Structure 1
């Protein structure tokens, strides 16, 4: 089952958006208010897929294509309604209750997703730890809507980061079986702050994609003690860690490489922070990140 999860993640936002567009196109509208209500309802679904969908599997840029298709579909459905029946208000032209309920539900979800960019509580600001390319937040933010797996695992302040190719994908294929096919695999990890190394593990193998090691959740990892708190960087490549406990670390110092060790389906950087033993939110160069955030480093 775990091997098919990347395919499910990849298909989900495309399928949700596509079904919504077809639904908007096929609905029979009795009046302008009825049409407007359904456009708002379907628009809220498209917005949800746009904000929270893991587009990195198909293409980050595909989300903008669906926004354009939604606009075209809404306009086309409006003119089709005008051609099929001139507007005249009757009892049958009332706004659909279903459209209102759908709009309200997804408006709440979208509000939670947007609010996830503004985490509550203490925030630890550090330098972004990757340096060469375009990076994408696969999970993150202060909401179960944008950070579901971490929220369920009681590590909701954690962030998962992957790297994109020129097409806005983390790999050339949807779910490749080779670790080397992932853009971030083997990527150098740099120290996000000045401090000292507290803990290191470097002995676990890198799992084939879709085969997590649930017995060792963090896999190979580094815990870095900064002035502001401690930072855990997990799922690192075996044999790549260049530091040992007690070493001093400076900002931008090479520490390790990104791998696929531990409880992970595919290569990515898992990073989280604590202060005085309590989880805190991370920001990078003053920027709070959530799902679908992009960071470009040159």
Structure 2
């Protein structure tokens, strides 16, 4: 298996429009999500937010109860192809579960090992994989039934491929992006990624 620190990188376009908050960026630490499992060393998360930088209003209830994903500003927001390429995999049959903030997020975190034990697909939820000339890009946690593409289809940068959801290992609607060198996620090496020539850091807001 290739050392992920040696794998070549891919420069991508942003896979969305509007305002998105950057989280778990490899600009701040590697591995970005605290693990090298499933070639995730250089993965990044984008959380859709409103003009005030909020993913959703935070109420007293948010501290104690899970919330429907429809309460979040970015749920259902279009996700776009960040590269030209060919669609390899489309999976969009998983339910969008409730979101967890406040105390519920602690309980959800304690069950993460169960999802990881089921493999990458359980973590990714609904997703699309696109093979480009430099590797394979995975866009994860999509909304159930939102896929706009099919395996074998050619896509271009900016083409809608699905919508932001809350499937898989996700505490609130967001988009997880990672690049790999092989479709075999168990043996693939992580590819470094950048967006329009640079890599945004945690806490920054991208507006496209």
Mark yes or no: TM-score above 0.5. yes
Q: Which of 138, 148, 169 is matched with 1:232 structurally?
A: 138
**How many correspondences in the alignment?**
176
> Given the superposition, is the C-alpha separation of residues 225 and 145 from structure 1 closer, same or farther in structure 2, using an over 3 Å criterion?
closer
Instruction: Confirm whether residue 158 of structure 1 aligns to residue 48 of structure 2.
Output: no
Q: Structure 2: how far apart are the matches of 1:121 and 1:288? A: 17
| Greater helix share, structure number | 1
Preserved CA contact (<8 Å) 1:142 1:156? no
Higher relative contact order (CA 8 A, sep 6+): 2
Preserved CA contact (<8 Å) 2:135 2:181? yes
1:238 to partner: Cα distance: 0.5
Could you say which residue in structure 1 is the equivalent of 2:67? 177
Preserved CA contact (<8 Å) 1:231 1:272? yes
Normalised by the size of structure 2, how large is the TM-score? 0.77
Normalised by the size of structure 1, how large is the TM-score? 0.55
> Given the superposition, is the C-alpha separation of residues 202 and 125 from structure 1 closer, same or farther in structure 2, using an over 3 Å criterion?
same
Could you say which residue in structure 1 is the equivalent of 2:179? 273
Which ranges of 4 or more aligned residues in structure 1 deviate by more than 4 Å?
Answer: 142-146
Q: Structure 2: how far apart are the matches of 1:242 and 1:164? A: 23
Preserved CA contact (<8 Å) 2:31 2:42? no
Q: Structure 2: how far apart are the matches of 1:145 and 1:153? A: 9
Q: Structure 2: how far apart are the matches of 1:247 and 1:259? A: 22
Q: Structure 2: how far apart are the matches of 1:121 and 1:290? A: 21
SS in 2 for 1:286: coil
SS in 2 for 1:237: coil
Instruction: Confirm whether residue 282 of structure 1 aligns to residue 193 of structure 2.
Output: yes
Q: Structure 1: how far apart are the matches of 2:93 and 2:192? A: 29
1:120 to partner: Cα distance: 8.3
Q: Structure 2: how far apart are the matches of 1:167 and 1:145? A: 29
**1:66-215 aligned within 5 A:** 122-131=8-17, 133-144=18-29, 147=32, 150-152=33-35, 154=37, 155-173=40-58, 175=62, 177-210=67-100, 214=115, 215=118
Could you say which residue in structure 2 is the equivalent of 1:106? none
Q: Structure 2: how far apart are the matches of 1:271 and 1:232? A: 6
Aligned CA RMSD, in angstroms, stands at 2.3
SS in 2 for 1:236: coil
Unaligned runs of 5+ in 1: 1-118
CA deviation vs aligned residue, 1:94-128 (integer Å, no higher than 9, x gap):
xxxxxxxxxxxxxxxxxxxxxxxxx9863210110
Instruction: Confirm whether residue 218 of structure 1 aligns to residue 124 of structure 2.
Output: yes
Preserved CA contact (<8 Å) 1:134 1:296? yes
Could you say which residue in structure 2 is the equivalent of 1:294? 205
| Greater strand share, structure number | 2
1:180 to partner: Cα distance: 1.6
Preserved CA contact (<8 Å) 2:82 2:157? yes
Q: Structure 2: how far apart are the matches of 1:123 and 1:291? A: 20
Unaligned runs of 5+ in 2: 101-107, 183-187
1:156 to partner: Cα distance: 2.2
